[in-house]
Copies of this chain bind each other. A is one copy, B any other.
Amino acid sequence: MSVQERKERERAERERLIVATARELAEQQGWDAVTTRQLAERIEYSQPVLYSHFHGKREIIGAVALEGATEMAAAVRAATSAAEGPRARAAALARAYLDFAASNPAVYDAMFQLDGGLAFAVDDTPPPLKDAFAALLETLTEVAGEGVHPGLFTEVFWASLHGLATLARAGRLHPEFAERRVELLVDRLAVL
């Protein structure tokens, strides 16, 4: 029994190592540099070991994405709970979201730009992703406005943030407008 338990523990530990290494490598050199060979070398195992943990590279990206979703949900909740008043909470949410995207570009890519093989079909959406959306919903519901479906409003608000995050990082928007964009977005979308 104990032997098997030890092995399972070691396996789980190695799996965490794979995900952490993939994430680290992606943040350092971009996802293009995250090849199975490079990744295998960094964890000091051969390539096939990766495939005994994940069905393919896509699943590794998906694992990084789920980790990121959990962290993003936490970051958003921490920021909103520290703010007072609906308007301030919505603004804090927006800034926390954009900060996370800017600070963890590779993770954000794994979540929304790359194919991590994650399902989004309402039912079998992984819990961390549902929870990240829920974190947005909690704060945004109070500024959705009368008679506006909170989920609908959250989708619009989220999409706007997503657009700002991706276009800003791609160098498509004027960097000096960053703060004013957030102000404008919150002012217009949020109903107090």
Contacts and interface: CB of A to CB of B under 8 A. Distances in A.
Interface of A: 112-113, 120-122, 148-149, 151-153, 155-156, 158-164, 166-168, 170-174, 177, 180-181, 184-185, 188-189, 191
A159 B163 contact: yes
A183 to B, nearest CB: 10
A115 to B, nearest CB: 9
30 contacts: A112-B166, A112-B167, A112-B172, A121-B171, A122-B174, A148-B184, A149-B177, A151-B174, A151-B177, A152-B174, A152-B177, A152-B180, A152-B181, A153-B184, A155-B173, A155-B174, A155-B181, A156-B181, A156-B185, A158-B163, A159-B163, A159-B167, A160-B163, A162-B166, A163-B163, A163-B164, A188-B188, A188-B189, A188-B191, A189-B189
**SS of A interface (majority):** helix
A108 to B, nearest CB: 13
Contact of A159 (B121, B173, B191): B173
A173 B168 CA distance: 22
5 closest A-B pairs by beta carbon, nearest first, are A163-B163, A159-B163, A162-B163, A160-B160, A159-B164
Contacts of A184: 148, 152-153, 156
Contacts of A163: 158-164, 166
A170 B119 CA distance: 10
Nearest to A120: B171
Nearest to A176: B152
A89 to B, nearest CB: 18
